Every structure is written in structure tokens, then in C-alpha cells.
Amino acid sequence: ARLNANCDWYGDEMVIRSSGADGRIKVSENLIVIEVNLGLLLSPMKSTIEREISRQLDTRVGTGKGGM
């Protein structure tokens, strides 16, 4: 499922706001940092959301070392 979110870019950082979560994606030449704050209703799905974010990153930008 997709969140109906508002996304705004500020330089190399995207700020994401939705009714169920908010966060930031910071992009640099060699690094992508993702911070997500889940609301009460999405908190039980934390591990599922982390796995999906990792899967999407691997698909779109390649597999890297490290975890969330």
C-alpha cells in the first residue's frame, strides 16, 4: 500500500508528511539516509515497513552494506 503523502525537496533533503507517518530522506553522493516517524496506527507495522523500504532501495539503487 502507498501512503497519500506530501513531499517537499529542500536541497538534498526530502521532507515527507502524511496522516500516518512523517520523515526525511537525505541524499548525498555516496549515502541515502532515511528517517521515518510512524504514527500510532502504523507502529505495529514497523518491521514490515523497514523491510519494504530496504527492498525498494535495493531494487532502485542497488544493494549496499548495513541495515536500518
Query: What tens digit of pLDDT does each residue of 2-23 get?
Result: 668 899 999 999 999 999 899 9
DSSP state of 50: H
pLDDT in tens, 33-46: 999 999 999 999 99
- Sequence-distant (6+) residues with CB within 8 A of 18 are 3, 4, 5, 6
Dig out the grid coordinates for 67 from the structure.
541495515
| Residue spans per domain, the chain | 6-61
pTM for the structure as a whole: 0.76
**What is the end-to-end Cα distance of the chain in Å, rounded?**
21
Report which residue type is found at 15.
V
* Model pLDDT, residue 8: 96
Per-residue pLDDT band for 50 (boundaries 50, 70, 90) equals very high
Per-residue pLDDT band for 55 (boundaries 50, 70, 90) equals very high
- CA separation for the pair 7, 18 (Å, rounded): 9
